[in-house]
Amino acid sequence: MNRAPQAPSTDTPLITTELAADEAGVTTATIRKWVQRGHLRSAGTQGRRRLFRLEDVFAAERTAYRARRHDR
């Protein structure tokens, strides 16, 4: 039986890339860049959509901000 991956069971709600971008005040492209750069890891999937923990999104935002300030 071939099943689609499911989001992990957790007490923390998981959000889509779009909602993560809205919450962090960035674009979905920025969320994808954070994933590519290792600032953010997805916590699961729902179909083809990546899901994230909100606290991980905010942590990635802080990390990206510090990295950007350090590069100046």
- Residue 45 sits in a domain whose CATH number is 1.10.1660.10
pLDDT digits (tens, 9 = 90+) for 12-53: 889 999 999 999 999 999 999 999 999 999 999 999 999 999
What are 43-59's pLDDT values in tens digits? 999 999 999 999 999 99
d(CA 8, CA 10): 6
Structural domain containing residue 40: 14-71
The answer to whether residue 39 is domain-embedded is yes
**Alpha-carbon distances, residue 9 vs 24, 58, 72 (angstroms):** 24, 21, 40
- Supply the pTM of this predicted model: 0.75
In 3-state terms the chain splits into helix, strand, coil percentages (rounded to 5) of: 50, 15, 35
Has residue 4 been placed in a domain?
A: no
Q: How many domains would you assign to the chain?
A: 1
